[in-house]
Amino acid sequence: MLTTITVNGSEGLRFLASLQETSQHTSRRVPPALVAMIEHVTTSAHDDLEHVTLEVAGPLADEIAEFVEVVSQGHGTPLLFSAQLGDFVTLVRDVLAEVTVNKRESRTWQFLPAGTVTRLEGRKGELGKLQLLEEPKSKLAREYAYVSDRCTTRTRPPR
């Protein structure tokens, strides 16, 4: 399965620019796929940069994710990693999401803060059907939120 890596707006562009500068002055080895992404960003017109993506195999995506986690250390989420069904995902920005409990109840809208961890249970176009992991009020009811892929990134399971 391929993983799509997307630049997360201006935060991601700043990260890639700083990564290019530091990689020239240090011995830290930047994964080659990430070097290709950096080169694309630095040579492209700024109008095109919002949609910079890279598709890589799962193990390479994991290597890049580990590298980015170490290098960015608490400076936000510069790159977004696509998730497969069943993966845990984190919201990278605050969202107002459509939430459903089951087919018989009406849909509502709920504020979900950045950092909320969910599980990808399905897809509806470009929206992910995310299972909210907080303890449901009823053991039979599960809450699902529909959120754009541009607001989520794959993450490790919560502890």
Q: What is the dihedral of CA 75, 68, 152, 121, to 10 degrees?
A: -140
Query: Is residue 122 domain-shared with residue 54, that is, in the same domain?
Result: no
What pLDDT shows up at residue 35? Answer: 83
Q: 40, 57, 81: which is the final residue of a domain?
A: 81
Query: Is residue 96 domain-shared with residue 42, that is, in the same domain?
Result: no
Give the separation between CA 138 and CA 132, rounded to whole angstroms: 13
Query: Is residue 138 domain-shared with residue 68, that is, in the same domain?
Result: no
Query: Is residue 100 domain-shared with residue 36, that is, in the same domain?
Result: no
Going by pLDDT thresholds of 50, 70 and 90, the confidence category of residue 28 is low
Percent of the chain's residues with pLDDT above 70: 84
Query: What is the tally of structural domains in the chain?
Result: 2
Query: Is residue 24 domain-shared with residue 70, that is, in the same domain?
Result: yes
Query: Is residue 73 domain-shared with residue 94, that is, in the same domain?
Result: no
The domain spanning residue 103 has which CATH number? 2.30.30
Of the candidates 87, 64, 79, the residue with the CA atom closest to the CA atom of residue 158 = 87
What pLDDT shows up at residue 138? Answer: 45
Q: 81, 97, 119: which is the final residue of a domain?
A: 81
Among the ranges given (5-9, 100-104, 135-139), the one the predictor scored with the smallest mean pLDDT? 135-139
C-alpha angle with apex 139: 136 to 141, nearest 5 degrees? 65
pLDDT digits (tens, 9 = 90+) for 93-129: 999 999 987 777 777 899 999 999 999 999 988 899 9
Run of H or E residues at 96: strand 95-100
Type of residue numbered 32: P
Cβ proximity of 142 and 131 under 8 Å: yes
Query: Is residue 74 domain-shared with residue 21, that is, in the same domain?
Result: yes
pLDDT digits (tens, 9 = 90+) for 39-55: 877 666 555 556 678 88
Query: Is residue 7 domain-shared with residue 70, that is, in the same domain?
Result: yes
Of the candidates 153, 118, 127, 156, the residue with the CA atom closest to the CA atom of residue 6 = 153
The residue that leads in pLDDT, 141 or 62, is 62
Query: Is residue 54 domain-shared with residue 100, that is, in the same domain?
Result: no
Q: 81, 102, 133: which is the final residue of a domain?
A: 81
Domain with 7, as residue range(s), is 2-81
Q: What predicted TM-score, i.e. pTM, was given to this entire model?
A: 0.80
Type of residue numbered 115: G
Q: Which two structure tokens, joined as six digits, stand for 39?
A: 């080169």
Give the separation between CA 15 and CA 10, rounded to whole angstroms: 8
